A and B are shown apart, each in its own frame.
Chain A
């Protein structure tokens, strides 16, 4: 009997194409699982069973007629609820948007899923407007971590992380402006890619920061992530940030040797600029040993300080976010939760000169990074500095909120992948980032896949799945 809950996209595609499983039974099994378990995890804001089953039936008809569209045909997925999909509201997990009408068009990423024949199960929880959370003062509760529901999922793509870890979907979409795909990936034991700025269209996605926003794939394995990026990447003439550049096959390097690969370690991010939790740091060092064992050449490299990157990210992010929210902040501040209100409002007090200088600093940082990377193929650093804290411990969530090394890669626009590196003594996921040169996601996947195949972390299941 097929374990639909933890089927990978790669395996599902083979079984669907071979007609060993049906898209309808696959969708129904996951809908049943969501119905049975999501009350404890709050990963979904909206589940649309009827729409999903209609899409699954359409996929089944096509596949049975011999018209298999590709690896996502008949495969269920979820969208972070800042991404538009016709027939479902886009709430941004906020009272501000709760009564808005349904979107009239799909986001570019949703359109690409539909063309691939995938089956949308629903929309997932987020931190309010992808910045304020985890919050208990919003119309919906925050998502909880399937590895321990007393713990935080990370965010802001919190529901996408929880839904994947819980076995509710094999594929989900998140967005990432200061690390919001990679944070829940790190805290929920998943693979999350923030591809190069411009690689994936942001059209139809509620903006947080125009120059830092990325849409990214979240999955349980590296191969699945590469499959998903193959589907969602591509130029979109209606997104001014979309890069007019060809996309490769992101799965092309999977299974290839990494012998001789030059891997930089941005150690100062997690040893001196910030000090990672010892178990998190050990997970990275153990991963580096694995990569050395696979023949990679590993040595330290140096970039600007993590705090310099973080401040640059926040100056730009908050200035742009505030510009988007200013009217609502003036007219209806009470409709925001406390955390979104506090965080976005910082942008009201950043001077225009500081914003412009932030973008000039960003240009310098990009140039310095590209220069530093000429000596390396990829680089490795921490993602989160700490395993997931308890979600109801407001002091701990606030203290650990900024303890991360993801924001630099939003400033740089460079690709960055969060990959599981094991588990803490408390049974919570550990992780690292593998980062690369602009538009070189395929090489990151090659390294990540080699590491993943040499370890067994992806075989573990959260206790709720037992």
Chain B
């Protein structure tokens, strides 16, 4: 991870109220930030405006 990306991760953590975390565990913050970014690119989002989220009973039988 570049210094710029690390800085971005720590800024994001502090903005989320994780200042103590950023101070004590900067490497963990950087790692978690990078992983979260990768998830966004791995999840293919192809939804129409009216497509609803899955609801609790979506598995079937209990709507």
Contacts and interface: CB of A to CB of B under 8 A. Distances in A.
Interface of A: 196-198, 211, 240-245, 307-308, 310-312, 314-315, 318, 326, 329-331, 333-334, 338, 341-343, 345-351, 354, 356-364, 366, 370, 412-414, 437-439
B51 A364 contact: yes
A405 B45 CA distance: 21
Contacts of B32: 342-343, 345-346, 348-349
Given A348-B16, A349-B36, 14 more contacts: A310-B42, A311-B43, A330-B20, A341-B25, A346-B32, A346-B36, A356-B53, A357-B45, A360-B51, A363-B52, A412-B59, A413-B58, A413-B59, A438-B61
Contact of A314 (B39, B45, B55): B39
Contact of A333 (B24, B52, B54): B24
Top 8 A-B pairs ranked by shortest CB distance?
A: A413-B59, A243-B62, A359-B53, A311-B42, A349-B36, A345-B32, A438-B60, A311-B43
A308 B59 contact: no
A346 B36 CA distance: 5
Contacts, number: 138
Interface residues of B, number: 38
A348 B39 CA distance: 13
Contact of A243 (B20, B33, B59): B59
Contacts of A350: 36, 39-40
Task: Pick the most buried of B9, B29, B37, B52: most chain A CB atoms within 10 A of its CB.
Answer: B29
A426 B43 CA distance: 36
B28 A338 contact: yes
Contacts of A351: 40
B29 to A, nearest CB: 7
21 contacts: A243-B61, A315-B40, A326-B17, A330-B18, A333-B25, A334-B24, A345-B21, A345-B32, A347-B36, A349-B16, A349-B33, A354-B39, A358-B43, A360-B52, A360-B54, A362-B54, A363-B51, A366-B59, A438-B60, A439-B59, A439-B60
Contacts of B52: 360, 363
B45 to A, nearest CB: 5
Name B's interface SS: loop
Contacts of A363: 51-55, 58
Contacts of A333: 18, 20-21, 24-25
A269 to B, nearest CB: 15
B59 A311 contact: no
A159 B52 CA distance: 38
Given A310-B42, A333-B20, A363-B53, A439 B61 contact: yes
Contacts of A345: 13, 18, 21, 28-29, 32
A366 B55 CA distance: 11
A197 B58 CA distance: 9
B47 A357 contact: yes
Contacts of A439: 59-61
B44 interface: yes
A329 B21 contact: yes
Contacts of B16: 348-349
B1 interface: no
B39 A346 contact: yes
A211 B43 contact: no
A41 B63 CA distance: 43
Given A241-B56, A414-B59, A354 B42 contact: no
A359 B52 CA distance: 8
A348 B56 CA distance: 23
A198 B33 CA distance: 32
Nearest to B53: A359
A362 B24 contact: no
Contacts of B47: 357, 360-361, 364
B20 A354 contact: no
A293 B28 CA distance: 51
Nearest to A243: B62
